[in-house]
């Protein structure tokens, strides 16, 4: 009897954890949208840039080479709506807006920085793999 209770309890705990966690493989799972915001090309870079503290829009734009004003604004809005970024607008002329990470943003920022660090450390091996693959493709085209 005790064994059944324990196993039923474990099943409930597992199901409860599963529902709380979400299922990123399910098309309609809300975590997919959040993951898309965080792991997008610009989302990752914004989170890393903001780990250094408060930044004005123009500072972020200069720091993140290649991002357009429109993409920066959209990315910051997405990260703000997910609770990762705080936006403070000061009522002065000219307008002054500062962006910073929330505690939740700092937590995800740590994970993103770890990913970026891993990529930087392993970049030589990654580039070698890319070059090997590109050579194989070129060789197969020359044979055809």
Residue scoring higher pLDDT (86 or 21): 86
Mean pLDDT of 34-49: 95
pLDDT interval class at 124 (50, 70, 90): very high
Dihedral of alpha carbons 101, 78, 119, 66, sign: negative
Parse the chain into domains and list their residue ranges.
40-143
Mean pLDDT of 47-51: 98
Rounded distance between C-alpha atoms, residue 103 and residue 91, angstroms:
25
Mean pLDDT of 27-35: 88
Residue 15 has pLDDT above 50, yes or no: no
Residue 21 has pLDDT above 80, yes or no: no
Decide: 33 and 8 in contact? Cβ < 8 Å: no
* DSSP for 14-47, written as a single string: HHHHHHHH--TTSTT-HHHHHHHHHHSHHHHHHH
Percent of the chain topping pLDDT 90: 65
Rounded distance between C-alpha atoms, residue 87 and residue 101, angstroms:
9
Catalogue the E-assigned strands of 70-114.
85-90, 96-101
Q: What is the pTM of this model?
A: 0.76
Report the CATH fold assignment for 40-143. Answer: Arc Repressor Mutant, subunit A (1.10.10)
What's the residue count for the chain? Answer: 144
pLDDT given at position 141: 75
């Amino acid at each position: 009897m005790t064994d059944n209770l324990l196993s039923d309890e474990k099943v409930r705990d597992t199901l409860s954890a599963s529902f709380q966690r979400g299922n990123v493989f399910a098309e309609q799972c809300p975590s997919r949208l959040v993951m898309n915001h965080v792991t997008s090309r610009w989302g990752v870079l914004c989170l890393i840039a903001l780990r250094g503290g408060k930044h004005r829009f123009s500072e972020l734009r200069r720091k993140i080479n290649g991002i357009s004003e429109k993409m920066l604004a959209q990315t910051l809005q997405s990260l703000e709506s997910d609770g990762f970024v705080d936006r403070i607008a000061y009522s002065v002329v000219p307008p002054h807006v500062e962006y910073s990470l929330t505690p939740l943003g700092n937590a995800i920022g740590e994970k993103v920085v770890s990913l970026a660090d891993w990529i930087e450390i392993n970049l030589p091996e990654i580039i070698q793999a890319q070059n090997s693959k590109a050579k194989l493709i070129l060789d197969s085209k020359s044979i055809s």
